[in-house]
Amino acid sequence: MSARRVLVTGGAGFVGSHLVDALLQRGDRVRIFDNLDPQVHPERRKPQWVPADAEFVLGDMRDADGVRDSLRDIDVVYHLAAAVGVGQSMYQIADYTAVNTLGTAHLLQSLVDDRGDVQKVVVASSMSIYGEGRYARPDGGEPRATLRTLDRLRAHEWEPRDVDGAVLAPVPTDESKPLDPTSIYALTKADQEKMVLQIGAAYDIPAVALRFFNIYGPRQSLSNPYTGVAAIFSSRLLNGQPPLVFEDGGQKRDFVSVYDIVQALLLSAEEEAAAGKAFNVGSGRAVTVNEVASILASVLGTELEAQIVDKYRVGDIRHCFSDISLAREVLGYEPRVTFEQGMQELVAWLQEQDRPKDGVEAHAAELAARGLTL
């Protein structure tokens, strides 16, 4: 395969940097476009893992001219840049909308005005756009609703119910499940996905959306209280503090290694049949939040137990884990890293890092002050 010229927006970040490594290893020429957001990069400088043989452009998705310039002489675009975090998005509405929705609009406007050499666009979507995952009734039937009313949440009744009060059982979520974003972050991720796929179809630009589930792995920001739960829990444990768990910790999620995410990103740009489609990218396995806290504590050699907050955080959902049949069938995607293997590697990396700043309690206090926890 001949070398491609590839743009990775957000390429200095967690997922983007691993993708950049893989692209360079293949022999591609890579341009990184990243604003080094201080929430992710506290020192506001390139992290040490940004390779010297990748072109680095300091730029912001909110800068239309900068975005347009970054597309010069590019064959493939991986659009990963985004403001991340459910809770924070509920009080930084304009920022999330500007970075995620408007930033994607700038990218697409540039391609519409002058497509240049671009042959493929892959956008990072999110499982958060589903809202609640799929559920089944006790009799196996399809529920009419997945209700978590405020009265029940205040009473600490966490499980969704159907309209007749029947408690529902979570089942794997496939791509046909109707979207129901429950936070500003989720809404903007749905915007990104739909905008890229719509403009791709209208202008005959092959486009793919990958709906990432809960990603973990080395290089995840440990000082950012809005990042993934594995990194947040790790940061707490490394500071001698118990992980804070909302609700009762029984929430089921799908935790997928960053290396499997990169696998899906590479496959999506290569497979012609992927154009115009959205794919779940996860492990296909459900793990509870309590299990994550317990496994991390065990691997880190601490007896600290999770602190159950027993509160609901506005914008959160109860259960969502992936059905990855479509990605297997079309992309040839197959998860290679088990959760246990991935946690061991994450912890090995964690133990080489400086002790992270723990901002979790401040974040929780901010949410409470704004009435975003019940």
Cα–Cα distances (Å) from 296 to 149, 235, 239, 341, in that order, read 32, 10, 13, 12
Q: Which residues pair with 288 in a beta bridge?
A: 252
Q: What pLDDT, on a 0 to 100 scale, did the predictor assign at position 360?
A: 58
For each of the chain's 374 residues, which pLDDT tens digit applies?
A: 578 999 999 999 999 999 999 999 999 999 999 999 888 787 778 888 999 999 999 999 999 999 999 999 999 999 999 999 888 899 999 999 999 999 999 999 999 999 999 999 999 999 999 999 999 999 988 999 888 888 999 999 999 999 999 999 999 999 999 999 999 999 999 999 999 999 999 999 999 999 999 999 999 876 555 567 777 887 788 888 888 899 999 999 999 999 999 999 999 999 999 999 999 999 999 999 999 999 888 888 888 888 998 888 887 899 999 999 999 999 999 999 999 899 888 888 877 766 656 555 665 676 677 766 76
Retrieve residue 266's tokens: 């590479």
- Residues 95-107 as b/e (b if ≥16 CB within 10 A, e otherwise) read ebbbbbbbbbbbb
Residues 6+ away with beta carbon under 8 Å from 287: 252, 253, 254, 255, 321, 339
Q: What pLDDT, on a 0 to 100 scale, did the predictor assign at position 222?
A: 66
Q: What pLDDT, on a 0 to 100 scale, did the predictor assign at position 331?
A: 98
Active site residue 185: yes
DSSP state of 333: -
For residues 86 and 41, the answer to whether their CB atoms sit within 8 Å is: no
Question: What gap in Å lies between CA 164 and CA 154, rounded to an integer?
Answer: 19
Q: What pLDDT, on a 0 to 100 scale, did the predictor assign at position 329?
A: 98
Q: What pLDDT, on a 0 to 100 scale, did the predictor assign at position 337?
A: 95
DSSP state of 243: P
Question: What gap in Å lies between CA 280 and CA 53, rounded to an integer?
Answer: 31
Catalytic residue among 78, 130, 185, 333: 185
Q: What pLDDT, on a 0 to 100 scale, did the predictor assign at position 367?
A: 61
Domains and CATH numbers, the chain: 5-133+173-369 (3.40.50.720)
DSSP state of 99: I
